[in-house]
Amino acid sequence: MQRRFRHKYAASTAQDYVTKQQSHSAQEYPPSHHFWKYVARRPGVPSRIIFCFPEPCLAHNDLRDWIAALDRAGELRKIRTEADPILEITEIADRVSKSRSSKHGVGGLALLFQNVKGHPGSQVLINQFGSARRMKLALEVDSLDEVADRIRAFMDVKSPQGFLEKVKMLPMLAEMGKFFPKSVPTGSCKEVVKRDNFSLLDFPILQCWPKDAGRFITLPCVITRDPKTGKRNVGMYRMQIYDERTTGMHWQRQKVAAEHYRDHLRAAARATWEQPPSAPTTTHVGADVLVRPAAHSAAASRVDIMARTSGGSILAEGDRPSGKMDVAVAIGTDPALTFSAIVPAPPDVEEFLIAGFLRQKPVELVKCETVELEVPADAEIILEGYVNLDELRTEGPFGDHTGFYSLDDTYPVFHVTCITHRKDPIYATTIVGKPPMEDGWMGKAVERIFLPLMKLTIPELVDVNLPLEGVFHNLMIVSIRKSYPGQARKVMNAIWSLGQAMFTKCILVVDEDVNVHDLGEVTLKVLNNIDPERDIQFTLGPVDSLDHASRLPNYGSKMGIDATRKWSTEGFTRPWPDEILMDQKTKSLVDSKWKALAKELGID
């Protein structure tokens, strides 16, 4: 597709290069609403890559803007029939999320409940991400691959050589500057500020399933700060309501916020070690220098507190460090930020930055009233508070996305110190259970968008599929470009070392000629290509906290299956049969007759 190059930076940047080369043409490669990558070509001259950023679309500024967009797109239904947040809304949303129609496909519509039993005037939004179409609408793209293309284009940028190429990169650098969060003095989340006389029970928080331990906040953006680097993290962890001012904080052991909690524990243990010791544990060196026994080093104190608390998951017997960790929770944010809270970002990359990248516009942040954190200025509801380092409480059970109840366990307790919110706040929530449900579509978006980042570490990776029925951490199907013996096993181990992919219970590795999204083809090729004893390997390591079948909580076995074609250099010496395929001449002959044959056979 040929496109004339027109852009707001025309006077001084990439277009200047094209217009100076009169015989050049600009070829769009590939298309995107937000980002175009152009290749300028002229006979006899090496191709040059030009990066161009057109004026971005207007991002969904906040949840209300997003709800209006859903309504305009015919993707929202306002429910005026009374519905109870205890179980009833879940049953309605579950039926809708599993419905199928010729107009909307699988997933039904987003639902805005406007007559919530026991909460007059409140509104509850659910199933906002519950279809492929709504996920694309949330990120303002026609295809999720567009976001992946933008990521890939950034990764493809080479260091500029010479002054002219540096000048040409200025538009891209300027655009990147728009991704970073922006501090503002106030925002609509502070239209109502409650330091006293507040209650979590004022909000229409759902009890999702009959055997849940109570009501749970299920779509929160939980904000913490790394005590070492100061970087913020936004994660999504369910929160069981204990009473008007306390909740559970279910950050699973391997999540970033849990590591922040452990770092606070380590720092508190070190601070305890650095306090002046009692006389019997020290010896004098010179006049005023006190030396502790070597066994009581600062590092040893950190090792000790991790071992005695099992990584912060149990309360240590005897002496234990105390202290607090600030936490803030945003409920009802714009869709890009809500989605960013679930992405497997590296710990050093703030989710606020990822949301800015997805929105093509910075996330505006305001300071909290009672804790040292910043929160989205336009969120519907903000909860401020802290967790104590020496307090854990039983949390759960909870009907989870595995289709089973996750078992009760001990987790930190979140103490609310202040609530701020918009006037007449809209409560955004979700439910999880047997797929397909809303979280499945969010997970598929992560799969598509972050494939380029996986390829950075695993360059032989061609494609990946996380089937909904595998609830994402139970099954991953990957195709690879095989180049050497044993490569499939190398890929398995690489995946198990990639952040949250470490939880993958079963990995199937196939050759690049297999479509990983065609489960019928995968099943045929895998079951035909493997010798179980030879091609299946097991390993031990961390498993998902929700895995009820593992031998121990958070620790168990994983399985990898090498279903690639086996080579002689891998010890396979038998002939490998050809796959059954019709010859092209016969196929073409039948193609020429197929219209008449289909009519005669009654085939549409």
**What is the C-alpha to C-alpha distance for residues 153 and 51, in angstroms, rounded to an integer?**
8
Distance CA 381, CA 373 (A): 15
- DSSP secondary structure of 53-106: -PPPPPP--SHHHHHHHHHHTT-EEEE-S-B-TBTHHHHHHHHHHT-EETTTEE
Provide the phi-psi class of 172: left if phi over 0, else alpha when psi is between -120 and 50, else beta.
alpha
Q: Sign of dihedral through CA atoms 46, 49, 54, 60?
A: positive
**Cα separation, 145 vs 481, whole angstroms:** 20
400 noted as active-site residue: yes
Identify whether the C-beta of residue 502 lies closer than 8 Å to the C-beta of residue 542. Answer: yes
Token pair, residue 584, equals 């092209």
Q: Are 324 and 414 in contact (CB under 8 A)?
A: no
The active-site residue out of 400, 409, 535, 544 is 400
Cα 109 from chain centre: 22
Encode 267-297: b = buried (16+ Cβ within 10 Å), e = exposed: bbbbeebeeeeeeeeeeeeeeeeeeeeeeee
| Residue that is written with structure tokens 């080093």 in the block | 297
Residue 552 forms beta bridges with which residues?
Answer: 555
Contact 368, 374 (CB under 8 A): yes
Q: Are the C-beta atoms of 450 and 344 separated by less than 8 Å?
A: yes
Return the active site residues: 400
